[in-house]
Every structure is written in C-alpha cells, then in structure tokens.
Structure 1
Amino acid sequence: MDAIARPAALALRSLSLAYFVQATGALSVVGSLAAIATEWGLSDAQTALLITVFGVTFALAAPLLQVAFGHLPRRRQVLIGLAVFSSAALAFALAPDYRALLVARVVMGLGAALIGPVLGALAAGLVEPKQQGSAIAMVLLGLSMAGLVGMPLSAWMAQAWGARPLFVAVAAAGLLTVVLIRLAVPAQAGGQAISLTTLGRVLTDPVLLPAYLVVFFIAAGAYTTYAFIAPIIRDVFHGSAHTVSAGMAVLGVAGVLGNLFVVRAARRYSADAMLLAGMGLLALDLVLLLLAPPTLALLFGVLLLWAFATDIVWPSQQRRIVELSAALRGVALAVTASFVFAGIAFGSALAGLLYARYGYHANLLGSLALLLLAAAFLALSARRAQLPGWSHGAE
C-alpha cells in the first residue's frame, strides 16, 4: 500500500491531537477520583457520576448534533466542538460546587459530541479508500497517547497540584489544538445534511444496529472494570496514588504499541478479525484477574495486555462501521460514538454499583458477561451482512 502523503499525514496528526485532548479531558476523572473528591468534598460514587453524566450527554447529543450541524464542514464542526469543550473544562476548574461540576461535565460532553463522531469521517476523507483503515488508526493514536501521556500526567497533576489546575491545562490544550487544526487541516466542502428520517434509518438498519450494539457492549464491558481502576488499585492491590499514576503510564505505553500494531495489521486483516482478537485478549485479561492472586506484578502485566487489546478494538470498530455504512459514514460514526459513550456511561454506573455491593470480582464477571454479549452481536451483524439483498443499508 502506498504511504500516506505528508500533508495528509500532518493533518491526521493534528486530528489525533484533538482526540488526545478530548480523551484526556473526558477520562482524566478516572485517574483523579481522589483529588476531585478531596477538592469538592465528594464520595467516590459522586465522582464516578461525573464520568457517567459525560457519557450520557455524549450518547444523546452526538447523533442529534449531526442532524442540527451535520451540513457544516467537518473541520468547522471539530473547531466549534473543541472551543465548547475547552470552555467547559475551564468552567469545571472554576466550579464552586458539585452542581456546577455536573453542569460543566454536561457541556464538555456536548463539545465532545461534536468532535468525536467527526474525526473518523474527516480522517477517512483525507486519504484514498484503501488507506482509510490506517488513517483512522493514526487519528486514534491520540486516544493511545491520552493513555501514555494524558492519563498518567493528569493523575500526577491532580495529586501534586489539585484538580482545578488539571482542568485549566485541559482547557489550554484544547484551545492550542484549535489553532493547529486551522493551520494543518485543509478546509473542505460542507458535511452531510442529516434528517431525522435518515438518522432513524441508520439507527434501525438490520446490519448496523447489531454493529452498534457490539460497540456498546465492548465499551460497557471495559468500563465495568476500568471506571473503578483507581479504587481497585488502592483497595485490592494496596497501591498508592503513585501506583495509580504508574498504572496509567503502563496503559498508555501498551496502548501506543497496540495502535501502531493496528496501523499495520489493518492492511492485512479484516475489521471483524481484529475485533475478535481484541475482545479475546480483553476476556483473557479478565480471567487472569479472576484467577490469579492480586499482586502488583500481575496488575502491571494485566494493564499491558488490557491497553494493547483495547487499542486493537477501538480503531477496528470504527473501521468496521465505515465499511458497512458507505456514503452515510458521518452519521453512522456519530451513532457509533453515541453507543460507545452510552456503553461507557452504563459500564461506569454498573462499576460503582457492583464494586460497592459485591466487590472487585463482581466487576470482572460483569465485564466478561458484557463482552460475551458483544461477541454475540458481532456474529449477528456479520451474518446479516452476508444475506442476499443487503448492500450498505445506510446508503
């Protein structure tokens, strides 16, 4: 396959930075639960709700914002979304109480809902069709770098300086990314004007609907354990705040390796095969945690495998939706992002419930059950895609 041209590669890297900022701002709550709870006098469950409310907002808003603003050029959508997201991050840093924190997270979710669904479609439009898998993986490298740099750095900043400076930094990074994207990403024609009827058709397509449910159950399965990784490290593995930061760094290193692997493997293997491989590795990880004694050596080994697996899964599921949805990939990716964050919200809420009532092993079993549901819907979607008469139902 021909290499991606340098101007397009630079544009893809700037979009990757947008993903980095969004993911760090969205998920930094995971690594800074203690600092946020201390700053505003909250419980772990209240702090975890800040993850859930972001996910619910994103899930509801992403497709509706594409109906309202999908006709705008995708670059403009990303720039508006980043500006809203960054402003809300600053409002979070200045929040006087828990209610203001929740409102700020809702607005951050609205900004992210305009960014995330568009990045994959924008990346795919910058390259030839045969390069789309690699282009999407390049953009999603920002998600991996959020794990490598953003998450451990945010955990460290929250511990060393407090939660408020952390979100000021997120706001500043978002505004700097706005400038970079304006310089590096070429202006394009308008996006897709999406009607509610079209949105309904994309949501109910017999192949795409189970494909979205694959995404939902993978995200829910991952976050049923991952959302409470900081309390789990503290209570089960008897780690300190420094251990949490180190764990986030391990996740990031392995995530980058996983993403680099996907960039190359996407040229040889189908999205379905990559998804199955990533889900299998996640299930193996959960089984290891269930059966092995909780030691720090096990923890770091499991985190390595966990991040590698999730970074196979995320770009592969986006690539699969792009391949299935054809001309309406923009709205299909928006719906996909909604299902991702709905899964994150559901998994995060379930994580708090299971951990508080039944303990760590219940989180692991819940994650395994949700991954099994994801595998079942992947098989259903693949089988329906092979039926005679179906051809890119979203066209």
Structure 2
Amino acid sequence: MAKERFFNLPVLILIASSFMLGMSEFIMVGILPDIAVGLKVSEVTVGNLVSLFAFVYAPVTPLGSALSARFPRFATHMTLIGVFLAGNLLCAFAPNYAVLMAGRILIALVSGTLVAIAMTYAPDVTTDTFRTKFIAWVFSGFSIASVVGVPVGTWVANAFGWRWAFHLVNALTVVLIIGMVAVLPRNSHAAKIGFLSQFRLFFDRRIQLGVLDVVCGAAASYVFYTYLTPIMRDEVHVPEQYLSVGLVIFGAACLWSNLYGGKLADRG
C-alpha cells in the first residue's frame, strides 16, 4: 500500500495562503522605520497600526468565521482574498497615513476569517491521520512568514523602498489566487447550527482558558516583535545589514514552537 502523502498541492496552497496573511500582518515590523520616514510620521504612530490591526482582527474573526459558514465556502474564500488584495494595494499606493490605516483595517477585517476558512478544508484535502498536522502547518504559515517573509520584505524595502514590500505581497497574492482557483475543492460544508448557538462555546471554561492562553502569548510576543527592528537598531546597535538576521532568528523560534506543539497534540 502506497504511503499517504501529506504535502499535496491543495495543502501547500492553504499553507501558502496562511504565509501570505502572516507576511502581510507582520511586514510592518521590518519596514516600520521606512514607512515613518516616507509618510513623515513618527515610528510610534506607524507602530500603532499594529495595535489597530489587533483591535479589528480580534472581535471580527469569530463573527466572520461564524457568518462565513452560512455561505458557499469557495466563493466566500475567493471574495475575502480579493478584499485582502485590495487592502494591500491600498497600503502599497497610500499617499498618506490615513489611507495606509484604511488598508490595514481592510486586511484585518478578513485575515482571521481566511484562516478559519482554510481550516475547514481539512476533511477534503487530507486524511484523519494528518488532521492535527494540517492545522499546525496552517498556523505555522504565520511563523514561516516571520522567518522568511518579513526579512525578505525588509530587504526589498531597504533596496527599493517600503512600497515595494507591499507590491511583493500583492504579486505573490495574485499567484496564490490562481493556485487556489486551480486546485481547491468547490464543495461546501454548510453550518448545521444557528449563528448565536456557535458562540455558546465561549461559555465553556476550557474554551475561555484556551483563548486566554492565546491572548497572553500573542500579547507578550507581538509587543516585543512590533518594535524588534528599532530595538535592535537603537538599543542593541545591530548594524542595518544584520537586522534581517535577528528577524529570522526570532521567526525560527516561533516556527519551531508551532510545529513542536502539533507533535505534542498528536501524542495527546
């Protein structure tokens, strides 16, 4: 009997979609000083976009995930990825801080829901044996973005200007959309419970503790990560050409923890 393959084309496309979401979310980290200079605002003001992103992302994600389950999955997926692309285009061509903020809000509105939709493909693109591994890898797309995407985006920004970092995301997103249209299944799994019923889960103490754990971990990580580039540059005095190395090291640690967490879950 042939050995089951985990990394088939649909799985790789869904991991790549998570990577693009992570790259778009975290790219601000590496190019924050460049944007501040380009738009003539302070680095703290640009850094506030990370907080704004989180404030929009957090409440919209459960609402968007619940609502998306009531509509055809593939059409919803493609519509939201289109909104994601529009948000990044706004960022790339933003003439001022207000337009950049609008673009970041658009991206935050759909990013969490896109990850949730990607998870629903698990029964269609992999076997029960690899279900937990699939979830771990989709989440790890964000960490892969911090290992590869953010340093690459930082290098592009340093070489060609910060707008080209967003242009890179846009170009890769177009390629990703073509891949999604080509390989993702079109079937849907309609929601069998009401919209409000889905939120009863949040009254479960175990769910509350799980959410709290993620919130505390993300808060501790992102507060530091947001200003990692200025910290390395101004406090540690790391030369500009080595800033990407620091971002790679931090991202690699995040990636390892995600993948090792998936292995621990399989043992449980």
Listed as ranges, the matches of 1:47-86 within 5 Å are 47-86=46-85
Equivalent position of 1:389 in the other structure: none
Contact 2:36 2:42 in 1 (8 A): yes
Q: Structure 2: how far apart are the matches of 1:260 and 1:38?
A: 37
Contact 1:14 1:180 in 2 (8 A): yes
Q: CA deviation at 1:36?
A: 0.8
Contact 2:61 2:110 in 1 (8 A): no
Q: CA deviation at 1:208?
A: 1.1
Listed as ranges, the matches of 1:355-374 within 5 Å are none
Establish whether residue 219 from structure 1 lines up as the match of residue 218 from structure 2. Answer: yes
Structure 2 regions of 5+ residues with no counterpart? none
Runs of 4+ in 1 over 6 A off after TM superposition: none
Normalising by structure 1, we get a TM-score of 0.62
Partner secondary structure for residue 189 of structure 1: coil
Q: CA deviation at 1:257?
A: 4.7
- How many pairs are equivalent? 267
Equivalent position of 1:142 in the other structure: 141
Contact 2:157 2:165 in 1 (8 A): yes
Q: CA deviation at 1:167?
A: 0.9
Q: Structure 2: how far apart are the matches of 1:56 and 1:63?
A: 13
Q: CA deviation at 1:131?
A: 2.2
Contact 1:233 1:243 in 2 (8 A): no
Letter matched to residue 211 of structure 2 = Y
Listed as ranges, the matches of 1:1-395 within 5 Å are 4-5=4-5, 9-123=8-122, 126-192=125-191, 195-258=194-257, 261-262=260-261, 264-268=263-267, 270=268
Q: CA deviation at 1:186?
A: 1.7
Q: Structure 2: how far apart are the matches of 1:67 and 1:263?
A: 25
Q: What whole-Å deviation, never above 9, does each CA across 1:294-351 have from its counterpart, x for those lacking one?
A: xxxxxxxxxxxxxxxxxxxxxxxxxxxxxxxxxxxxxxxxxxxxxxxxxxxxxxxxxx
Contact 1:74 1:122 in 2 (8 A): no
Distance 1:4 1:36, change over 3 A: farther
Q: Structure 2: how far apart are the matches of 1:261 and 1:211?
A: 18
Larger RCO: Structure 1 or Structure 2 (Cα < 8 Å, ≥ 6 residues apart)?
Answer: 2
Q: What whole-Å deviation, never above 9, does each CA across 1:137-175 have from its counterpart, x for those lacking one?
A: 232342232122201001111122111111122122112
Letter matched to residue 154 of structure 2 = A
Letter matched to residue 50 of structure 1 = L
Q: What whole-Å deviation, never above 9, does each CA across 1:218-244 have from its counterpart, x for those lacking one?
A: 111212222211121122211133222
Partner secondary structure for residue 251 of structure 1: helix
Single out whichever of 212-221 and 193-202 deviates more from structure 2: 193-202
Normalising by structure 2, we get a TM-score of 0.89
Q: What whole-Å deviation, never above 9, does each CA across 1:337-373 have from its counterpart, x for those lacking one?
A: xxxxxxxxxxxxxxxxxxxxxxxxxxxxxxxxxxxxx
Letter matched to residue 236 of structure 1 = E
Q: What whole-Å deviation, never above 9, does each CA across 1:47-81 have from its counterpart, x for those lacking one?
A: 11111111211112112223433222434333222
Structure 1 regions of 5+ residues with no counterpart? 271-395
Letter matched to residue 60 of structure 1 = P
